[in-house]
A and B are shown apart, each in its own frame.
Chain A
Amino acid sequence: MSDKIKVFYEVPADDFTRAGEASSNLKSMLKKMGMNPETVRKVAIAMYEGEINMVIHASGGTIDVTVSQEEIEMVLKDQGPGIADIEMAMRAGYSTAPDKVRSLGFGAGMGLPNMKKYSDELKIESQVGIGTTVTMKVKIQC
Protein backbone atom coordinates (compact mmCIF):
# COMPACT_ATOMS: atom_id res chain seq x y z
CA MET A 1 0.00 0.00 0.00
CA SER A 2 2.75 2.44 0.84
CA ASP A 3 4.36 1.78 -2.53
CA LYS A 4 5.56 4.82 -4.37
CA ILE A 5 5.30 5.23 -8.10
CA LYS A 6 8.31 6.79 -9.74
CA VAL A 7 8.42 8.24 -13.24
CA PHE A 8 11.36 9.76 -15.07
CA TYR A 9 11.24 12.16 -18.01
CA GLU A 10 13.93 13.60 -20.21
CA VAL A 11 13.09 17.03 -21.58
CA PRO A 12 14.94 17.73 -24.84
CA ALA A 13 16.58 21.11 -25.48
CA ASP A 14 14.99 23.69 -27.77
CA ASP A 15 12.24 21.39 -28.96
CA PHE A 16 9.02 23.36 -28.77
CA THR A 17 7.14 20.77 -30.72
CA ARG A 18 7.67 18.29 -27.91
CA ALA A 19 7.60 20.69 -24.98
CA GLY A 20 4.74 19.79 -22.69
CA GLU A 21 4.91 16.09 -23.48
CA ALA A 22 6.13 15.10 -20.02
CA SER A 23 3.34 17.11 -18.39
CA SER A 24 0.61 15.67 -20.59
CA ASN A 25 1.98 12.17 -20.10
CA LEU A 26 1.91 12.58 -16.32
CA LYS A 27 -1.53 14.15 -16.50
CA SER A 28 -3.06 11.19 -18.32
CA MET A 29 -1.31 8.76 -15.98
CA LEU A 30 -2.76 10.47 -12.88
CA LYS A 31 -6.18 10.64 -14.52
CA LYS A 32 -6.09 6.91 -15.22
CA MET A 33 -5.19 6.30 -11.58
CA GLY A 34 -8.48 7.97 -10.74
CA MET A 35 -6.92 10.89 -8.94
CA ASN A 36 -9.01 13.91 -7.92
CA PRO A 37 -9.41 16.17 -11.01
CA GLU A 38 -8.41 19.31 -9.09
CA THR A 39 -5.16 17.65 -7.98
CA VAL A 40 -4.47 16.52 -11.55
CA ARG A 41 -5.04 20.04 -12.88
CA LYS A 42 -2.69 21.56 -10.30
CA VAL A 43 0.06 19.07 -11.12
CA ALA A 44 -0.40 19.54 -14.88
CA ILE A 45 -0.16 23.33 -14.72
CA ALA A 46 2.77 23.47 -12.28
CA MET A 47 4.76 20.86 -14.15
CA TYR A 48 4.13 22.35 -17.61
CA GLU A 49 5.48 25.73 -16.52
CA GLY A 50 8.60 24.10 -15.09
CA GLU A 51 9.04 21.89 -18.12
CA ILE A 52 8.73 24.75 -20.58
CA ASN A 53 11.13 26.90 -18.54
CA MET A 54 13.78 24.21 -18.90
CA VAL A 55 13.31 24.31 -22.68
CA ILE A 56 13.27 28.10 -23.02
CA HIS A 57 15.75 29.21 -20.40
CA ALA A 58 18.04 26.18 -20.03
CA SER A 59 19.01 23.44 -22.46
CA GLY A 60 16.35 20.96 -21.45
CA GLY A 61 16.75 18.75 -18.41
CA THR A 62 15.21 15.90 -16.47
CA ILE A 63 12.09 15.46 -14.34
CA ASP A 64 11.71 12.94 -11.54
CA VAL A 65 8.17 12.40 -10.36
CA THR A 66 7.27 10.47 -7.23
CA VAL A 67 3.65 9.68 -6.47
CA SER A 68 3.00 8.59 -2.90
CA GLN A 69 -0.19 8.21 -0.88
CA GLU A 70 -0.14 11.82 0.28
CA GLU A 71 1.48 13.84 -2.47
CA ILE A 72 3.03 14.16 -5.89
CA GLU A 73 6.60 15.38 -5.93
CA MET A 74 8.23 16.76 -9.08
CA VAL A 75 11.95 17.44 -9.23
CA LEU A 76 13.05 19.35 -12.34
CA LYS A 77 16.79 19.55 -12.93
CA ASP A 78 18.67 21.43 -15.59
CA GLN A 79 22.21 22.40 -16.36
CA GLY A 80 21.29 25.78 -17.80
CA PRO A 81 22.60 29.25 -16.94
CA GLY A 82 21.01 29.29 -13.48
CA ILE A 83 18.99 32.12 -11.92
CA ALA A 84 21.01 34.92 -10.33
CA ASP A 85 18.16 36.53 -8.39
CA ILE A 86 15.44 34.04 -7.59
CA GLU A 87 13.26 36.57 -5.77
CA MET A 88 13.21 38.79 -8.84
CA ALA A 89 12.54 35.84 -11.16
CA MET A 90 9.51 34.92 -9.01
CA ARG A 91 7.89 38.32 -9.56
CA ALA A 92 4.80 38.36 -11.76
CA GLY A 93 5.78 39.93 -15.06
CA TYR A 94 9.54 39.39 -14.81
CA SER A 95 10.87 37.66 -17.91
CA THR A 96 14.08 37.36 -19.87
CA ALA A 97 12.41 35.30 -22.60
CA PRO A 98 13.95 36.01 -26.04
CA ASP A 99 11.86 37.51 -28.87
CA LYS A 100 11.63 34.28 -30.82
CA VAL A 101 9.67 32.60 -28.01
CA ARG A 102 7.68 35.74 -27.16
CA SER A 103 6.21 35.55 -30.64
CA LEU A 104 4.87 32.10 -29.69
CA GLY A 105 3.06 33.50 -26.66
CA PHE A 106 5.68 32.97 -23.97
CA GLY A 107 7.27 35.67 -21.85
CA ALA A 108 4.42 36.96 -19.68
CA GLY A 109 6.61 36.29 -16.66
CA MET A 110 3.85 34.23 -15.09
CA GLY A 111 5.36 30.74 -15.20
CA LEU A 112 7.04 30.80 -11.79
CA PRO A 113 4.05 32.57 -10.15
CA ASN A 114 1.82 29.84 -11.60
CA MET A 115 4.14 27.17 -10.19
CA LYS A 116 3.85 28.78 -6.79
CA LYS A 117 0.09 29.16 -7.05
CA TYR A 118 -0.63 25.62 -8.18
CA SER A 119 1.83 23.70 -6.00
CA ASP A 120 1.62 23.32 -2.24
CA GLU A 121 5.37 23.58 -1.87
CA LEU A 122 7.94 25.12 -4.21
CA LYS A 123 11.68 25.12 -3.73
CA ILE A 124 14.14 26.60 -6.21
CA GLU A 125 17.85 25.93 -5.91
CA SER A 126 20.05 27.56 -8.48
CA GLN A 127 23.67 28.35 -9.13
CA VAL A 128 24.72 30.66 -11.91
CA GLY A 129 26.67 28.75 -14.55
CA ILE A 130 25.76 25.38 -13.05
CA GLY A 131 22.02 24.93 -13.23
CA THR A 132 18.67 24.98 -11.52
CA THR A 133 16.70 22.43 -9.53
CA VAL A 134 13.03 23.08 -8.92
CA THR A 135 11.16 20.88 -6.45
CA MET A 136 7.39 21.06 -6.30
CA LYS A 137 4.93 19.14 -4.17
CA VAL A 138 1.20 18.88 -4.64
CA LYS A 139 -0.90 17.31 -1.89
CA ILE A 140 -3.37 14.71 -3.05
CA GLN A 141 -6.94 15.74 -2.29
CA CYS A 142 -9.52 13.07 -1.72
Chain B
Amino acid sequence: MVSESLTLHQQAMTITDLIQKGDFKILNEGNNTHNRITVPYCCDLLSIAMGKMPAGSAWVTVMGNMNTLAVAALAEAACIILAEGTDLDEPSKNKAKEQGITVLKTELPIFDAALMVYQYLNA
Protein backbone atom coordinates (compact mmCIF):
# COMPACT_ATOMS: atom_id res chain seq x y z
CA MET B 1 0.00 0.00 0.00
CA VAL B 2 2.71 2.41 1.06
CA SER B 3 5.01 1.42 -1.80
CA GLU B 4 2.51 2.75 -4.33
CA SER B 5 3.25 6.26 -3.16
CA LEU B 6 6.99 5.87 -3.64
CA THR B 7 8.28 7.72 -6.65
CA LEU B 8 11.15 6.37 -8.71
CA HIS B 9 13.93 8.45 -7.20
CA GLN B 10 12.80 7.63 -3.70
CA GLN B 11 14.52 4.99 -1.63
CA ALA B 12 12.40 2.60 0.35
CA MET B 13 13.39 3.26 3.93
CA THR B 14 11.93 1.41 6.86
CA ILE B 15 11.92 2.62 10.43
CA THR B 16 14.65 0.08 11.18
CA ASP B 17 16.76 1.57 8.37
CA LEU B 18 16.38 5.02 9.90
CA ILE B 19 17.28 3.76 13.37
CA GLN B 20 20.38 2.05 11.97
CA LYS B 21 21.68 5.32 10.56
CA GLY B 22 22.38 6.12 14.20
CA ASP B 23 21.51 9.82 14.07
CA PHE B 24 18.65 9.60 16.50
CA LYS B 25 18.51 8.35 20.05
CA ILE B 26 15.93 5.61 20.62
CA LEU B 27 13.37 6.34 23.33
CA ASN B 28 11.21 3.41 22.31
CA GLU B 29 11.50 0.88 19.54
CA GLY B 30 7.96 0.05 18.47
CA ASN B 31 6.44 -3.05 16.92
CA ASN B 32 6.14 -1.50 13.47
CA THR B 33 9.79 -1.04 12.58
CA HIS B 34 9.49 -3.00 9.33
CA ASN B 35 7.08 -0.33 8.04
CA ARG B 36 8.23 2.12 5.42
CA ILE B 37 8.59 5.82 6.09
CA THR B 38 6.72 7.78 3.43
CA VAL B 39 7.68 11.38 4.21
CA PRO B 40 8.87 13.62 7.03
CA TYR B 41 6.10 15.74 8.53
CA CYS B 42 6.46 18.74 10.86
CA CYS B 43 3.79 20.23 13.12
CA ASP B 44 3.33 20.81 16.85
CA LEU B 45 -0.40 21.45 16.87
CA LEU B 46 -2.13 18.16 17.42
CA SER B 47 -5.33 18.62 15.46
CA ILE B 48 -3.49 20.00 12.43
CA ALA B 49 -1.18 16.99 12.50
CA MET B 50 -4.20 14.73 12.99
CA GLY B 51 -5.95 16.17 9.95
CA LYS B 52 -3.01 16.59 7.60
CA MET B 53 -0.24 14.16 8.43
CA PRO B 54 0.15 11.51 5.69
CA ALA B 55 0.10 7.89 6.87
CA GLY B 56 3.63 6.55 7.32
CA SER B 57 5.09 9.95 8.24
CA ALA B 58 8.19 10.42 10.33
CA TRP B 59 6.54 13.04 12.54
CA VAL B 60 8.99 15.64 13.82
CA THR B 61 7.70 17.67 16.77
CA VAL B 62 8.70 19.20 20.10
CA MET B 63 5.53 17.98 21.83
CA GLY B 64 6.42 14.87 23.78
CA ASN B 65 3.31 13.89 25.69
CA MET B 66 0.58 11.31 25.87
CA ASN B 67 -1.48 13.12 23.24
CA THR B 68 1.37 13.08 20.73
CA LEU B 69 1.36 9.29 21.08
CA ALA B 70 -2.41 9.09 20.61
CA VAL B 71 -2.29 11.20 17.45
CA ALA B 72 0.66 9.25 16.05
CA ALA B 73 -1.16 5.97 16.58
CA LEU B 74 -4.53 7.13 15.25
CA ALA B 75 -3.15 8.97 12.21
CA GLU B 76 -0.73 6.09 11.55
CA ALA B 77 2.58 7.89 11.71
CA ALA B 78 5.57 5.60 11.15
CA CYS B 79 7.42 7.13 14.08
CA ILE B 80 7.76 10.23 16.24
CA ILE B 81 11.01 12.18 16.22
CA LEU B 82 11.28 14.56 19.17
CA ALA B 83 13.45 17.52 18.19
CA GLU B 84 15.31 20.22 20.17
CA GLY B 85 16.18 17.74 22.91
CA THR B 86 12.56 17.24 23.92
CA ASP B 87 11.96 14.14 26.01
CA LEU B 88 9.02 11.89 26.81
CA ASP B 89 7.82 11.89 30.41
CA GLU B 90 7.75 8.54 32.25
CA PRO B 91 4.03 7.78 31.77
CA SER B 92 4.37 8.55 28.06
CA LYS B 93 7.42 6.30 27.80
CA ASN B 94 5.38 3.47 29.29
CA LYS B 95 2.49 4.20 26.97
CA ALA B 96 4.79 4.16 23.93
CA LYS B 97 6.06 0.75 25.05
CA GLU B 98 2.57 -0.54 25.65
CA GLN B 99 1.29 0.67 22.29
CA GLY B 100 4.39 -0.27 20.31
CA ILE B 101 5.03 3.23 18.99
CA THR B 102 8.54 4.11 17.82
CA VAL B 103 9.83 7.31 19.42
CA LEU B 104 13.24 8.78 18.59
CA LYS B 105 14.91 11.94 19.81
CA THR B 106 17.51 14.43 18.67
CA GLU B 107 19.08 17.71 19.79
CA LEU B 108 18.58 19.05 16.25
CA PRO B 109 15.94 21.68 15.46
CA ILE B 110 12.74 20.46 13.79
CA PHE B 111 13.77 21.56 10.30
CA ASP B 112 17.19 19.93 10.43
CA ALA B 113 15.77 16.66 11.72
CA ALA B 114 13.11 16.56 9.01
CA LEU B 115 15.67 17.51 6.36
CA MET B 116 17.85 14.60 7.45
CA VAL B 117 14.96 12.16 6.96
CA TYR B 118 14.12 13.81 3.64
CA GLN B 119 17.69 13.43 2.42
CA TYR B 120 17.76 9.75 3.35
CA LEU B 121 14.48 9.23 1.51
CA ASN B 122 15.76 11.02 -1.58
CA ALA B 123 19.38 9.89 -1.53
Contact = CB atoms under 8 A, between A and B. Distances in A.
A59 interface: no
Contact of A48 (B55, B71, B76, B95): B71
A45 to B, nearest CB: 6
A37 interface: yes
B46 interface: yes
Given A17-B91, A23-B70, A48-B70, A108 B48 contact: yes
B47 A49 contact: yes
Contact of B74 (A27, A104, A105): A27
A41 interface: yes
Given A107-B45, A110-B48, A114-B51, A24 B73 contact: yes
Q: Is the interface of A mostly helix, strand, loop or mixed?
A: helix
Interface string A23-50: 1100100000000010001001100110
Interface of B: 1, 44-48, 50-51, 55, 61, 63, 65-68, 70-71, 73-76, 91, 95, 99
Interface in A31-85: 37, 41, 44-45, 48-49, 52
Interface residue range, chain A = 20 to 34
A20 B47 contact: no
Given A37-B1, A45-B51, A117-B51, A20 B46 contact: no
A90 to B, nearest CB: 13
Contact of A45 (B48, B50, B65, B91): B50
A105 B44 contact: yes
B91 A48 contact: no
A139 to B, nearest CB: 19
A2 to B, nearest CB: 29
